[in-house]
Amino acid sequence: MSNNPIIVFEGIEGSGKTTLIKHLSKYLKKINKKFVKFREPGGSKNSEKIRKFILNNKSNLNYKTDLLLYLASRSENYEKIIAKNYKKKIILIDRFTDSTIAYQHYGMGINKYLILKINKLILGNIKPDLTFLNLVSKNNLKLRLKKRVNKNKYDKFTFSFYAKVQNGFKKQSKNNRKYIIVNSNDSIEDNKKLVVNTIKKILW
């Protein structure tokens, strides 16, 4: 694995991935490792504009439009962030290609191979070196979404939809050593230690 890997945090809403990527960022700063961090949708300036449109509760987009906007955001991120920093800095990403397959294919039913083909067009051979997949129980998902004050449209799907998406993540991670499964029902402190200890093994 590269000394400057691409590390991705995946999972459905309320799974704790954003908290963990923030914690890892603090750790990397502490040990003076150069890194860049971004989220999807969002990231670059243009991608953040696309994010606002996608997640707006009033944007009544069909599933294919939704997909194409996500991929447009990724294309901007590739040019503005990924290509410039690949193998030069550690790249941390809050949601990436696995999310597109999990949500748009397993959740919304869009052809998987179409998504893979466009991802290949955008990214070439670039893939994550390590993915932390955060899994959460239905009960904890309910509790965490209930606490959210400013909900976007992706916080308002049915629980059966989230179950399909999480199952999609599990299928992608099966028998793949590049995945670390994070049980988001465990304490956040235990999961922070899991992430940092895993990164220590990679970087040293």
Which of 134, 118, 32, 20 minimizes the C-alpha distance to 69? 118
* Residue whose pair of structure tokens reads 């193998």 in the numeric block: 87
pLDDT surpassing 80 at residue 23? yes
Domains of the chain and any CATH numbers: 6-203 (3.40.50.300)
| pLDDT band at residue 59 using 50, 70 and 90 as cut-offs | confident
| Structure tokens that stand for 188 in this block | 């956040």
Question: pLDDT digits over 74-93, tens only?
Answer: 999 999 999 999 999 999 99
| pLDDT band at residue 1 using 50, 70 and 90 as cut-offs | confident
What's the CA gap between 130 and 5, in Å, rounded?
8
